[in-house]
Amino acid sequence: MAAADSAPQRREDLSRRWAAFRDGLHEFYVGPYRNMFLREKRDEDDLFMIVVLGEALGVPDPAAFYSAELMPAVWEDFHAWHRRIGIPDSPLDHIACC
């Protein structure tokens, strides 16, 4: 009976050790490049924002009909985006976020 009780406990202990090992490996490989990953994500988000807002910013966009549908998805980050790229006021004439 003692062996049956210890098997789930050993399984749980092994699972906990495996999770700690996996977290350690993740930190070992990702940790030094964390800033690079964050910068790449920010660059991708900026590019996505420009693609979605291209027509509104004056860039001819043949897919403007489809990208206009994505404007609600980027609306929350719009103010932080135009402040981060150095535009103090909203670059869109018809949308005043600040």
pLDDT for the residue numbered 14 = 95
Residue carrying structure tokens 């999770």:
19
pLDDT for the residue numbered 88 = 82
Q: What is the pTM (predicted TM-score) of this model?
A: 0.62
pLDDT for the residue numbered 20 = 97
Give the pLDDT of the chain (98 residues) as one tens digit per residue: 555 568 889 999 999 999 999 999 999 999 999 999 999 999 999 898 888 888 877 888 888 888 888 888 888 888 888 888 888 888 777 777 77
